[in-house]
Amino acid sequence: MKRALFLDRDGVINKDYNYVYKKEDIDFIDGIFDLVREANHKNYYVLVVTNQAGIARGFYKENDFLELSNWMKEQFLINNSRIDYFYYSPYHPIYGIGKYKIDSDLRKPKPGMFLNAKKDFKLDIKNSIMIGDNEKDLVAANRAGVGKIICLGTLFKNKFGINIRKLAEAKKYLINY
């Protein structure tokens, strides 16, 4: 069984400008390509787990998100790194519109995206790592049984694990197989 490096999108991979869905609005966080490259070399799957309430609220279409995700994957390949898969929740229990207004197990802080990844990739979840930038990310990872939970930023104390200020600090937690 392989391990995964789980990454939140907005705030970890790219700067969070609220409801980002256009490639011209993507500013990659310093160190993200190096971190993902290191994870690839150490035989981790790299999996994105992201809430996308902008879809639920009607700010952009699901296809807009999918096109942006494919473009982002291409940018990683250009930078000699690879994201294996994007898991996302297009739902919101209160502000969702139509079919997107549901209380889904996929929406963080619920662990559904992590549990689907565990099943899909046959993951060693206890030896996997999550890097998020808010409490919902960390709670979801904890509920799924992710072994190492890292918070990027200093907005609050991470009661589940480690706080880092820069992505470069996370590389030391990637262990060789």
Q: pLDDT tens across 55-114, in order? A: 999 999 999 999 999 999 999 999 999 999 999 999 999 999 999 999 999 999 999 999
The Cα–Cα gap between 164 and 154 comes to 7
CATH code at position 157: 3.40.50.1000
Assess whether 120 carries a catalytic annotation: no
Number of compact structural domains in the chain:
1
Print the domain residue range for 120. 4-173
Assess whether 124 carries a catalytic annotation: no
**Reported pTM:** 0.96
The Cα–Cα gap between 161 and 37 comes to 23
Question: Phi, psi (5° rounding) for residue 82?
Answer: -145, 130
- Token look-up 């970890």 returns 12
- Token look-up 């937690």 returns 173
Give the three-state DSSP class for 12: coil
Who contacts 120 (Cβ-Cβ below 8 Å, separation ≥6)? 85
